[in-house]
Amino acid sequence: MSSMSRSTLRSQIGGIYETETNRLQREVDNFTKQFEHEKRRLLIIEEQIKQIKDELASKDSNLKSM
């Protein structure tokens, strides 16, 4: 085992061995999926903020016209 480099070591997951390269790719895929999810969530929140600001400005102008 000492003759094996770290990149060729295998980690055990649920009884199935996977190469270091596959493990790293899986982790990158998971991170990317989470990142994209958070990015969509941020866009939704930013759109909600914009709508609320527009609504507030509209109500402000209605109050000033009264």
Task: Please give the angle made by the CA atoms of 30, 27 and 23, to the nearest 5 degrees.
Answer: 140
* pLDDT of 7: 47
pLDDT in tens, the chain (66 residues): 444 444 445 555 555 788 999 999 999 999 999 999 999 999 999 999 999 999 999 999 999 888
Task: Please give the angle made by the CA atoms of 49, 52 and 63, to the nearest 5 degrees.
Answer: 150
Query: What's the whole-model pTM score?
Result: 0.62
* pLDDT of 42: 98
